[in-house]
Amino acid sequence: MVIKEKRKNMKAGENKVLNESQRKQMLENAEFAFGNFLRALGYDWENDPNMKKTPYRVAKMYVNEVTSGAYSEPPKITVFPNESQYDGIVFQGNIPVHSLCAHHFASIVGVCHVAYIPKKDGNIIGLSKLNRIVDFLSKRPQTQEFLTKQIHDYINDIIPDNQGVIVFIKADHMCVKLRGIEQDSTMQTSYCSGYFKTNEIGSRKEFFDMIVNLK
């Protein structure tokens, strides 16, 4: 039996941190609901040895993995003073993106390239934290356009004294490959600010050259 809790439901892309009790309840509710979904599709899953635990597996996959970013605390981001006074491009490429299309709940799989330009007297972000930001924000249902801008804004808020931030995502959408037109195609989105937007000192071209030079 589903236990209902009076809590505001989220919209795609939003965040609602769950405590242990709330997470357990969500798992139970999702398991119950997916069992009904399979039954509505005509599957006798309760008497099928291959599907008997499918509602539980799917609920666990969504709550703890595929959409876990929507229910988890944001990652702790380490920021350091720019003691070397470096004011060139800080680039991190080929960051994995695993997300969900908000329209069909089909997988979005691709890579993200991120860069920012610190001020000489500003701050820099711990390099691995850029990966953590992308991973955290990816794991929820949304559109690729929304995710691209959200990653940009997240980095921009952490080091507001930057001289520019840029995000580029290249991804395949299973909602295009497995349904509708059923074709292989790749979506690309970018969002930028500061020097990357004005292209001062050729920074935007340098960023995309870095992507091309990745192996």
Mean pLDDT of 3-20: 72
Extract the runs of DSSP E, i.e. beta strands, from the chain. 79-81, 90-101, 107-116, 123-125, 141-142, 165-173, 187-192
CA-nearest of 150, 144, 62, 152 to 116 is 152
Q: Assign a CATH topology to domain 79-212.
A: GTP Cyclohydrolase I, domain 2 (3.30.1130)
Interatomic CA distance for residues 198 and 178, integer angstroms? 39
Residue 143: what pLDDT?
96
Question: What is the pTM (predicted TM-score) of this model?
Answer: 0.92
Q: How many helices (H) and strands (E) does the chain have?
A: 7, 7
DSSP 90-117: EEEEEEEEEEEETTT--EEEEEEEEEE-
User: How sure is the predictor about 7, in pLDDT bands with cuts at 50, 70 and 90?
Assistant: low
Residue 8: what pLDDT?
64
Domains of the chain, by residue range, sit at: 20-71, 79-212
Residue 14 has pLDDT above 80, yes or no: no
Per-residue pLDDT tens digits for 155-193? 999 999 999 999 999 999 999 999 998 999 999 999 999
Mean pLDDT of 115-130: 97
Question: Do the two domains 20-71 and 79-212 of this chain adopt the same fold?
Answer: no
Please tell us whether the domain made up of 20-71 is placed in CATH 1.10.286.10.
yes
Report the DSSP pairing between strands 90-101 and 141-142. parallel
> Average model confidence (pLDDT) for the chain?
94
Backbone angles phi, psi at 161, to 5 degrees: -90, 20
User: How sure is the predictor about 15, in pLDDT bands with cuts at 50, 70 and 90?
Assistant: confident
| Rounded CA Rg of the chain | 20
